Structure 1
Amino acid sequence: MRSIVLAVLTTFGGVACTASMDDHFDGSKVDASKWTTQQVLSRQIEFTKPGRCGSAAIDIVTTDGDKGLECEDDCQRAELRTTKKIWPSYGDEVWFSFSFKITGDVPSAGSARSVIGQWKGPGDSSPMIAQRFDNGVFHITVQDNNIRRVIAQAEGNPDALLSAQSLLGKLEFNDRNVNAIKSLQSLDLINRNSPEVSNRFFSQHLAQSMGPDAKNSDAKALSQALGLPGDGNLVSQFRALAFVAEPEKYIGRANIEIVPASNRPLPDPRKGWVDMIYRVKPGRTDNEYGPRQPGEIDVWANGQKIVSVRGNIGATMQKKDNFPLVGPYFKFGTYRHRIPGTFHFEFDEFSQSPTRAGLAQLCAAQ
């Protein structure tokens, strides 16, 4: 296994070298030179055998009684983070690869704000990039300051998703629209996930007002009843985005271009190992210091290109904040609202490098 290659302290041609690191988790012990554990309890760390390629993989386990370390609300948090000495210089191109899967109690509905991997840059409140698992759907999001966008998902229609996000992007962020979108999501999830409740307490007319097959007049009537502007298109197309947590985060304009590759879905991590590769080059055109060009993200899953993203990614760097230009740093594990059951997040074969060629080679599919 390669040792950590530290970033040089001097620069060549004004460009700093990004630290490289591999971890195959075959030693059945967390390497403190690579990972920090202040946001996870020792009893939440297990090792399963065999791993994705080698003898073992790390398993982050969350149970009913677990609380979260450094949580702002009633959440469950169990995450490992890369150590600071391997954080890249902010603005450098960095490649990441890893494998993961999900086992145990995995609800297909009711899962809220479940983050299972994230990249945090300077000034970020929400992660600039996040792997999420809400309402049974694995998806990836990016952030333009406080506005969020799904860039890929494990099921559904990518074109419909982009259309729904575009319509939300045209709304003004205010209490009326926030409450309306939350109500629309609740109605849609009840209608689809609890049809017996919907049939007993709601009229069939309400069900017919939502979804892509809704009549224009019905969708418009529901839109007006909720206090939403427009002709009802958002009501009829919102279903493509209804699985996300915090739908209000998607209201407002985001300077992010999402280009799916051949409408390919992400693999379902409940069905086996998923092999991810990310190319990340942070940037924003409105930065007051740091990188002043559009950010770039490219994502591959199980060897296939999934999506490319360009635009203002992460938080705007303002001189008054004076954040150090380091990151984004990577975290994996579980960070979510409290959910019953025992949840296993298995993770293996992590690699970080300034180039794709520098990533550790992955074994053939098991």
Structure 2
Amino acid sequence: MIIQPKIRGFICTTAHPAGCAEHVQEQIDYVKKQPKVDGPKKVLVIGASTGYGLASRISATFGAGADTIGVFFEKPGSEKRTATAGYYNTIAFEKEAREAGYVAKSINGDAFSDQLKEETIELIKEEFGQVDLVVYSLASPKRMHPRTGELFSSVIKPIGNTYTNKTVNVHSGEVTDVTVEPANEEEIQQTVAVMGGEDWEMWMKALNEAGVLAEGAKTVAYSYIGPEITRAVYRDGTIGRAKDHLEKTAHELDQYLSSIGGSAFVSVNKALVTQSSAAIPVVPLYISLLYKVMKEKDLHEGCIEQMYRLFAERLYTEGETPVDEEGRIRVDDLEMKEDIQAEVAALWEKVNTENLEDISDIEGYRSEFLRLFGFGLEGIDYDQEVDPSIELKA
């Protein structure tokens, strides 16, 4: 099959196996060039196949020399359709990790289910005995509660007031206004149920009760705060309410894990092009302007740079883990610098369809978006036939 990108809305419905492998290799190569991290050795990554979760797994293995187990929900390919990008990413990561002498195992299924938690616990017992780091990086629009069977669906809406601001059609480059109606209480609660901390807490308690958390084990989940521009639809909206719950859960888990000398953190990360962020109104335009400013100042970071820095300078630095007044790790510190935010805000006031290409990095956004699915990588012949049905080895 000759595989080309097929864009539908804010997702790409195809993925290229060779391109995904090259994208993974670039991240591995970056970490290999950095100083070694005196970090974890047996790591569980929940949500391990794309974005920050994949970058965490790469940083753990090639930065700290860790064996890993990855949990995710991805679809394999067939003769007629490609696999999801995360499926190809995992094949590529495991191949490189195993060739380098590391254990790299994966479980593909519903991470919200009790059954998959039990499967993971058994695999930890077989392969590692215990894990010393658990990364929680799940991103899903829906979640079925494992105990009640209730299906929750998240929404991206403001709370309290209708919200209107600029947005961009990334593919056409048209800048328009978008209006989002406020969420009702049911939508808020459902979003918290999907994207808050309940499942993370269930994972950590299941792991601890099974005795597979090592003495001093750490866990980290990922969050975002962002600027004033996106605040109404993000941090003050339904997603922000879920992130508040996630951060509250971190404090509760930190106390819970004290019995084994463990700790729990939320890491607030930078705005990046991911499959999740592409779905949020206003955010792609903000990211396009942010990339322009940060690249000009030589401060731009992608997922892998962020996660390596999280491991090397936050989670596994000497002494106490540096946190803000709310107890959160901040690797969004460069994004949130006053001068950067001031420049982005000034560009935001000026940006329109006519000047978008000149004053933003919309082309960089498009490129990053396609790279998530294995397209636009140097050295890949996209006119060549490839087999989309390669398998993830046990």
Q: Same fold (TM over 0.5)?
A: no
The structure that is strand-richer by fraction is: 1
Structure 2-normalised TM-score? 0.25
The structure that is helix-richer by fraction is: 2
